[in-house]
């Protein structure tokens, strides 16, 4: 039912699965975006406590996109209801696509019987596999074609996650995929970790919450999968 979540999850340590990238100084980031920087602000010995100063882009690592990312008057990340990023998720295997190749509606059609309205779709492409970093993966990653974005809208999916840098092709001109999804208030999660490969073909429960950053276009997020009882 729209706006309501009615599912039981198993809260045992073995049933809680991390899908977030670790954030660190020289981690891979989208070309042109700032590398994270962590600096001590207070230090025990000189000060009473340790406090660090963080500098990073709003789309660093595993993150969510707000409509404001592509629409000047769009909602910022603090205006998105948390329910958008919480719910049943189906993990679909798109790793058969070559790196740098777009995912189409035809690719998603083969999973039509697995996807329900208000589901979260998580796409495993293999783009975030550490081995691909040696092959120009920052520019040559898997992405969605506009036809796939329209398929998601038509199927009334509430959120789309992917393990590559972006749902959009590198060097895009118009950002049509983002605009198609965000205009319909469909959540976008990018940069899921390569651990997603361990859950291909499963239906699980996802919690992926951004920071409550006022007026900002996106936010790093912690993505956790739970087994469904």
pLDDT for position 132: 57
- What value does the mean pLDDT take over residues 132-136? 55
pLDDT for position 93: 97
Reported as a single tens digit per residue, the pLDDT across 104-125 is: 999 999 999 999 999 999 999 9
- Select from 3.40.920.10, 3.10.450.50, 3.50.30.50, 2.40.160.50 the CATH code of 14-21+58-226: 3.50.30.50
Q: How confident is the model at residue 1 (pLDDT cuts 50, 70, 90)?
A: very low
pLDDT for position 14: 73
Q: Which two tokens stand for residue 63?
A: 């993150």
The domain ranges of the chain are 14-21+58-226
pLDDT for position 131: 61
Reported as a single tens digit per residue, the pLDDT across 22-53 is: 999 999 999 999 999 999 999 999 999 999 99
Whether this prediction's pTM lies above 0.85 is answered by: yes
- CA–CA dist 172, 189 (Å, integer): 18
Q: Which two tokens stand for residue 55?
A: 């500098």
Q: Which two tokens stand for residue 49?
A: 């406590």
């Amino acid at each position: 039912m729209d706006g309501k979540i009615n599912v039981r999850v198993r809260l045992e340590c073995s049933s809680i699965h991390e899908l977030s990238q670790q954030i660190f100084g020289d981690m891979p980031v989208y070309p042109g975006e700032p590398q994270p920087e962590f600096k001590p602000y207070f230090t025990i010995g000189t000060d009473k406590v340790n406090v660090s100063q963080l500098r990073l882009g709003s789309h660093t690592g595993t993150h969510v996109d707000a409509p404001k990312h592509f629409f000047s008057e769009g909602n910022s990340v603090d205006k998105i209801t948390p329910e958008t990023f919480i719910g049943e998720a189906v993990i679909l295997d798109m790793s058969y696509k070559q790196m740098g190749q777009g995912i189409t509606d035809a690719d998603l059609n083969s999973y039509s019987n697995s996807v329900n309205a208000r589901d979260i779709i998580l796409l495993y492409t293999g783009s975030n596999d550490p081995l691909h970093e040696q092959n120009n993966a920052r520019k040559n990653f898997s992405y969605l074609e506009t036809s796939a974005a329209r398929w998601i809208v038509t199927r009334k999916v509430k959120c789309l996650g992917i393990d590559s840098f972006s749902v959009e092709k590198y060097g895009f001109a118009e950002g049509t995929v983002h605009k198609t999804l965000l205009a319909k208030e469909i959540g976008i999660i990018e940069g899921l970790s390569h651990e997603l490969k361990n859950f291909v073909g499963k239906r699980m429960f996802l919690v992926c919450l951004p920071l409550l950053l006022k007026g900002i276009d996106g936010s790093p997020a912690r993505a956790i999968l739970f087994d469904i009882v």
